């Protein structure tokens, strides 16, 4: 697939290592395959009628009328745009350049818009853009917190596959404590503590006893599902009123900003847990890359022996990282029971922890990128909700696969090289 | 600061790595710790640095007994170490690496990178070299990385500096520069411990020499001692430092490499337009500092880089495009650079490792079943022939010493019908006794009229073994010269300076 081509041979010893361009056709091939699948879908299942996109909510400063556009026409125009971008990508690759980011971004946006127009065509109901985006933000909350938990843990050198169990433990504890105290704040704090304890168990087995990190993570996930389901049926179900009926965080609309069309209701009419999200993302990023704590944490995840030889306590640093990671994951878990709905249900996280793990990898172990990936996956998850409202022909199970498919492509290296911390999964011993 | 080690003993299970070692290093002196690989030098220094706990003995600094819980304590007490395998985080910048562990902060825990950059610059200036504080360590050449290690130690105000095999990765010129830095440090009154097994370097800078063998101090020597004296002290018997060999008698076999270009998957060219010919009955040593394309050259020769450009012909047959299996079947013996990762399966027994390359048919496999009797018979024969010191052929090969492991690799690769032998770093991490044996076998192979390519980063070995020497620098051939080329010319070639008149370029 890659063939070296020599550019400009010189004689004598070179001053710098020479490089040849290795041409990778991965990106254009992927773009072409996706476009072909899209076109196939349009051809095999054409839909009649127009699509209705609603952009405004009644409380906005001003109203934007509902856009009515022809479904199939729009879909094919979008396909044409994507095809043009595919040509750009092919030309770029042929010249030995990488496909520019804007090409892939616009390509994805075009196909997404075309797909929405096709799916909503002929539906008498409006497709609410606010609902689509607002729901995406809400659904991405556990994903973003979960992926941050993953980033912190893995940057310190421990595979954190237990995000799912941290979310679930957080959700369960928040429900119980939130119900007992009638305070969502107490629920949130309790969720953080519970998830940190899950992190502690992970730390004890992987750091102190050096058990295979993936095995411990999987076992923890299964264990927490079992425990929460058991106590749910045994304790919560008979005592729903006292133990499983929380007070939720109220929405805190931000005056004026909330009335801006589209972005107002999406971004500025949320709960405190959602507002905290960008703050926590920034704090984790700043902490990892600008503080002593982060420098040491990353050193321990990259080259623990080097860290040890400059007097850093490797094991203690890793323990602390996993505790903090757990606490952050717990915030995501609390979302389920003190923000989203007001009670705990069996296995209510439904694999969000694994999507968070995918977001972390997709985000290349960088908090900001991981958070953006979490938003993207939240969007993908919400897409199927919205489409079922407008009566989309796509089975919801297919849409649910979307985040995982995106991740597969990401891990396969389509979005550039993804390099995990060098000491990931390796227990540290002094000998 | 005066460093004194008293009766340091360190055991790993039954193995006594350090047996009551005493050592005194005065301020303003360079004290050489000379010993073979595995003599216990590195273990001793890891004890000193707080990485290992000594079972017995004590460490004194300026007469006071120290009790190091970890490297942090040792550093705090003024001990700095330049490690053999650099203790640098590759994805961190120079400044980040230097500050790691004793970070300068502004505000609560917030890194002060500007101060760290300044530390790097001022320390580097003191020794007259330049290091960009913002460069990522992984992008720097090894010589510069080593300077970062030195800056790291000095920025913590180390008074005792340990250099653990620091010259292994350096060109002769870089080695000279390092020696100059060591002398300057000595003049500043630091106590310096210089660990090495290279006699030439010892005599050049040492004020005092302590020789270690099998974990014990076996004697002290003066820097004026001859190479032979030092070597026999180090090994414990008279050692032959040269390789006996007749002038080459060229055979009919021939390896011809033409315009070979090998690129890594990321596009970096690691072997750049390399052409050479090796005749039967001749040893061509590929010399150069580690990481200048020698590894990739040998790997391309046996088919591990199928995409290369150019041609590799053995007796006129093109090897390009053949799988490794087919290259081996064509009669190529290959001793890989790192026996523990690519030469042997550590958990497998000696017998299993010896037939690892011939598990696809008779005589060792019939109808899908291993012929155990035949295998063991073969293994016993080879263990005898190659003088592998072992308690039995059923021992996991990973438990053998480095030298004996290497003999197993050699036995396997030399027991096929050979038309070419490629040996990469055949004596690295091998005791002197095994080195002599391995050299002898390589010369015997050559005398059978087989072309031999040996990669070596040790100039001494290159000169001793070679009929011709090819020096590589940054993937290119700087020149192919006769083995009797002066060492300073070879040294310059290893730094990329082509010789004035190319000797034997054929």
- Residue A7 DSSP label: -
Q: Which residue of A has its CA nearest to B499?
A: A12
Q: What average pLDDT does range A29-40 have in this prediction?
A: 91
> Are A298 and B99 in contact (CB < 8 Å)?
no
Higher pLDDT, B253 or B286: B286
pLDDT at residue A344 greater than cutoff 90: yes
Q: What average pLDDT does range B54-72 have in this prediction?
A: 91
Q: Does B276 lie at the interface with A, CB-CB under 8 angstroms?
A: no
* Distance between CA atoms of residues A212 and A425, nearest Å: 8
Q: For position B503, what pLDDT does the model report?
A: 47
DSSP A286-344: HHHHHBHHHHHHHHHHH-HHHHHHTT--HHHHHHHHHHHHHHHHHHHHHHIIIII-SS-
Chain B residues close to A302, C-beta within 8 Å: 89-92
pLDDT at residue B134 greater than cutoff 90: yes
pLDDT at residue B504 greater than cutoff 60: no
A:11-50 residues touching chain B, CB 8 A cutoff: 12-14, 17-22
pLDDT at residue A228 greater than cutoff 50: yes
Q: Which residue of B has its CA nearest to A22?
A: B267
Q: What average pLDDT does range B290-309 have in this prediction?
A: 89
Distance from CA of B474 to the nearest CA of A (A): 6
* pLDDT-above-90 percentage for chain B: 56
Q: Does B498 lie at the interface with A, CB-CB under 8 angstroms?
A: yes
pLDDT at residue A16 greater than cutoff 60: no
Q: For position A307, what pLDDT does the model report?
A: 94
Distance from CA of A278 to the nearest CA of B (A): 20
Q: Give me the residue from A17, A295, A303 closest to B111, CB to CB.
A: A295
Burial A244-253 (b: 16+ CB within 10 A, else e): bbbbbbeeee
pLDDT at residue A229 greater than cutoff 70: yes
pLDDT at residue A152 greater than cutoff 50: yes
* Distance between CA atoms of residues B91 and A61, nearest Å: 50
Contacts of B186 (CB under 8 A, 6+ apart): B28, B29, B30, B192, B207
> Which of A38-42, A48-52, B94-98, B380-384 bottoms out in mean pLDDT, i.e. has the lowest?
A48-52
pLDDT tens digits, residue range B140-161? 888 899 999 999 999 988 999 9
> Are A311 and B73 in contact (CB < 8 Å)?
yes
> Are B99 and A422 in contact (CB < 8 Å)?
no
Q: For position A53, what pLDDT does the model report?
A: 87
Q: Give me the residue from A13, A292, A298 closest to B473, CB to CB.
A: A13
**Top-confidence range, A35-44, A195-204, B196-205:** A195-204
* Distance between CA atoms of residues B341 and A221, nearest Å: 35
- Cβ-Cβ contacts under 8 Å between A and B: the total is 126
Q: How confident is the model at residue A22 (pLDDT cuts 50, 70, 90)?
A: low
Q: For position B100, what pLDDT does the model report?
A: 94
Task: Catalogue the E-assigned strands of B51-180.
Answer: 56-61, 64-66, 79-82, 160-164
pLDDT tens digits, residue range A169-194? 999 999 999 999 999 999 999 999 99
B:74-93 residues touching chain A, CB 8 A cutoff: 75-76, 81, 83, 86-92
- Residue B357 DSSP label: G
pLDDT at residue A415 greater than cutoff 80: no
* Distance between CA atoms of residues A380 and A396, nearest Å: 11
Q: For position A8, what pLDDT does the model report?
A: 34
Q: For position A9, what pLDDT does the model report?
A: 34
> Are B307 and A310 in contact (CB < 8 Å)?
no
Tell me how far the alpha carbon of residue B67 is from its chain's centroid. Answer: 33
Distance from CA of A92 to the nearest CA of B (A): 17
> Are A308 and B71 in contact (CB < 8 Å)?
yes
Q: For position A169, what pLDDT does the model report?
A: 97
* Distance between CA atoms of residues A334 and A190, nearest Å: 9
Task: Catalogue the E-assigned strands of A229-373.
Answer: 252-253, 269-270
Q: For tokens 């979008």, name the residue.
A: A78
* pLDDT-above-70 percentage for chain A: 92
Q: For position B342, what pLDDT does the model report?
A: 87
Extract the tokens encoding A232: 């749910």
Tell me how far the alpha carbon of residue A307 is from its chain's centroid. Answer: 31
Helix (H), strand (E), coil (C) string for B323-353:
CHHHHHHCCEEEECCCHHHHHCCCCCEHHHH
* pLDDT-above-70 percentage for chain B: 98
Q: For position B199, what pLDDT does the model report?
A: 83
Q: For position A12, what pLDDT does the model report?
A: 41
Q: Which residue of A has its CA nearest to B12?
A: A431
| Residues pairing with B254 in the sheet | B279
CA distances from B54 to A182, B91, B190 (A): 58, 33, 25
Q: Which residue of A has its CA nearest to B473?
A: A13
Q: Does A125 lie at the interface with B, CB-CB under 8 angstroms?
A: no
Domain boundaries along the sequence of chain A:
26-124, 140-375
pLDDT at residue B398 greater than cutoff 50: yes
Q: Give me the residue from B73, B76, B261 closest to A6, CB to CB.
A: B261
pLDDT at residue A11 greater than cutoff 50: no
> Are A309 and B497 in contact (CB < 8 Å)?
no
pLDDT at residue A202 greater than cutoff 90: yes
Domains in chain B, please, with CATH? 3-235 (3.40.50.300), 240-331+417-499 (3.40.50.300), 349-416 (no CATH)
Extract the tokens encoding A93: 């690759």
* Distance between CA atoms of residues B283 and A377, nearest Å: 61
Q: Which residue of A has its CA nearest to B103?
A: A292
Q: What average pLDDT does range B180-204 have in this prediction?
A: 90
Extract the tokens encoding A350: 């439904």
Q: For position B133, what pLDDT does the model report?
A: 94
Q: For position A2, what pLDDT does the model report?
A: 39
Q: Which residue of A has its CA nearest to B77?
A: A311
B:95-124 residues touching chain A, CB 8 A cutoff: 96-97, 99-103, 105, 109-111
pTM beyond 0.90: the answer is no
The alpha-carbon radius of gyration of chain A (Å, integer) is: 24
Q: How confident is the model at residue B402 (pLDDT cuts 50, 70, 90)?
A: confident
pLDDT at residue A314 greater than cutoff 90: yes
Inter-residue contact B229 to B250 (CB < 8 Å): no
Assess whether the previous peptide bond of A98 is cis (omega < 30° from 0): no
Q: Which residue of B has its CA nearest to A292?
A: B109
Q: What average pLDDT does range B345-365 have in this prediction?
A: 90
Q: What average pLDDT does range B321-329 have in this prediction?
A: 91
Inter-residue contact B57 to B41 (CB < 8 Å): no
Chain A residues close to B307, C-beta within 8 Å: 2-4
């Amino acid at each position: 697939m890659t063939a070296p081509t020599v550019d400009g041979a010189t004689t004598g010893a070179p001053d710098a290592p020479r490089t040849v361009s290795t041409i990778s056709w991965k990106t254009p091939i992927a773009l072409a395959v996706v476009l072909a699948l899209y076109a196939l879908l349009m051809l095999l299942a054409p839909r009649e009628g127009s699509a209705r996109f609603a952009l405004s909510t009644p409380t906005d400063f001003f109203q934007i009328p509902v856009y009515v556009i022809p479904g199939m026409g729009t879909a094919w125009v979008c396909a044409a745009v994507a095809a043009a971008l595919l040509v750009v990508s092919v030309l770029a690759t042929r010249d030995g350049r990488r496909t520019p980011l804007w090409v892939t971004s616009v390509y994805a946006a075009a196909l997404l818009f075309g797909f929405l127009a096709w799916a909503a065509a002929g539906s008498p109901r409006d497709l609410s853009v606010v609902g689509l985006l607002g729901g995406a933000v809400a659904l991405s909350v556990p994903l973003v917190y979960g992926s941050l938990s993953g980033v912190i843990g893995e940057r310190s050198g421990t595979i954190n596959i237990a995000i799912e169990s941290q979310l679930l433990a957080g959700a369960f504890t928040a429900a119980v404590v939130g119900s007992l105290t009638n305070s969502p704040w107490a629920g949130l704090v309790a969720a953080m503590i519970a998830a940190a304890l899950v992190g502690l168990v992970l730390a004890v087995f992987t750091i102190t006893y050096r058990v295979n990190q993936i095995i411990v993570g999987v076992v923890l996930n299964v264990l927490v599902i079992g425990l929460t389901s058991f106590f749910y049926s045994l304790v919560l179900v008979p005592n729903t009123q006292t133990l499983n009926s929380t007070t939720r965080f109220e929405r805190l609309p931000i005056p004026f900003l909330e009335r801006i069309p589209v972005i107002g209701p999406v971004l500025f009419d949320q709960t405190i847990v959602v507002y905290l999200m960008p703050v926590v993302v920034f704090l984790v990023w700043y902490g990892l890359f600008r503080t002593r704590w982060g420098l040491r944490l990353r050193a321990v995840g990259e080259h623990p022996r080097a860290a040890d030889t400059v007097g850093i306590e490797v094991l203690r640093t890793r323990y602390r990282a996993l505790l903090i990671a757990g606490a952050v994951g717990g915030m995501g878990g609390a979302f389920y029971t003190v923000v989203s709905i007001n009670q705990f249900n069996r296995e209510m996280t439904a694999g969000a922890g694994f999507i968070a793990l995918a977001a972390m990898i997709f985000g290349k172990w960088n908090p900001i990128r991981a958070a953006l990936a979490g938003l993207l996956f939240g969007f993908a998850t919400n897409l199927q909700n919205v489409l079922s409202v407008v009566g989309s022909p796509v089975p919801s199970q297919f849409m649910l696969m979307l985040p995982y498919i995106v991740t597969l492509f990401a891990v396969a290296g389509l979005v550039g090289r993804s390099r995990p911390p060098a000491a990931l999964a390796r227990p540290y011993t002094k000998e | 600061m005066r460093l004194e080690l008293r009766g340091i003993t360190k055991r790993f299970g039954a193995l006594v790595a350090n047996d009551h070692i005493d050592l005194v290093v005065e301020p303003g002196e360079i004290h050489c710790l000379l010993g073979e690989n595995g003599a216990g030098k590195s273990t001793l220094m890891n004890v000193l640095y707080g990485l290992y706990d000594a079972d017995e003995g004590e460490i004194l600094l300026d007469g006071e007994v120290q009790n190091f819980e970890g490297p942090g304590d040792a550093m705090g007490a003024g001990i700095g170490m330049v490690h053999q395998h650099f203790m640098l985080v590759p994805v961190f910048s120079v400044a980040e690496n230097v500050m790691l562990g004793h970070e300068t902060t502004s505000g609560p825990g917030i890194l002060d990178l500007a101060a760290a950059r300044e530390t790097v610059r001022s320390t580097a200036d003191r020794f007259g070299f330049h290091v960009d504080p913002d460069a990522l360590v992984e992008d720097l050449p090894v010589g510069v990385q080593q300077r970062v290690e030195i800056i790291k130690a000095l920025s913590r105000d180390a008074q005792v500096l340990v250099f653990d095999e620091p010259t292994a990765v350096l060109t002769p010129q870089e080695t000279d520069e390092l020696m100059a830095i060591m002398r300057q440090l000595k003049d500043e009154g630091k106590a310096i411990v210089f660990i090495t097994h290279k006699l030439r370097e010892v005599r050049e800078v040492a004020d005092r020499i302590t020789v270690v063998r099998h974990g014990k101090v076996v004697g002290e020597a003066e820097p004026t001692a001859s190479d032979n004296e030092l070597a026999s002290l180090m090994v414990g018997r008279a050692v032959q430092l040269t390789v006996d060999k007749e002038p080459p008698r060229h055979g009919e076999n021939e390896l011809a490499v033409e315009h070979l270009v090998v690129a890594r998957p990321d596009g970096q060219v690691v072997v750049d337009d390399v052409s050479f010919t090796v005749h039967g009955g001749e040893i061509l040593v590929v010399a150069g500092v580690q990481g200048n394309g020698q590894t990739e050259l040998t790997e391309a020769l046996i088919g591990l880089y199928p995409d290369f450009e150019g041609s590799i012909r053995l007796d006129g047959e093109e090897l390009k495009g053949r799988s490794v299996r087919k290259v081996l079947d064509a009669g190529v013996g290959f001793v890989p650079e790192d026996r523990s990762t690519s030469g042997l399966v550590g958990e497998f027994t000696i017998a299993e490792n010896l037939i690892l390359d011939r598990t696809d048919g008779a005589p060792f496999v019939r109808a899908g079943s291993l012929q155990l009797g035949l295998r063991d018979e073969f293994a016993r024969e080879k263990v005898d022939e190659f003088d592998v010191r072992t308690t039995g052929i059923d021992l996991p090969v990973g438990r053998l010493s480095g030298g004996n492991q290497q003999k197993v690799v050699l036995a396997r690769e030399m027991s096929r019908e050979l038309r070419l032998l490629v040996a990469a770093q055949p004596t690295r991490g091998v005791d002197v006794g095994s080195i002599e044996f391995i050299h002898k076998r390589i010369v015997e192979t050559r005398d059978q009229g087989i072309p031999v390519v040996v990669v070596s980063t040790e100039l001494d070995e290159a000169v001793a073994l070679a009929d011709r020497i090819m020096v590589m620098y940054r993937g290119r051939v700087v020149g192919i010269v006769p083995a009797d080329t002066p060492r300073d010319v070879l040294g310059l070639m290893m730094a990329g300076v082509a010789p004035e008149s190319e000797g034997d370029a054929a």
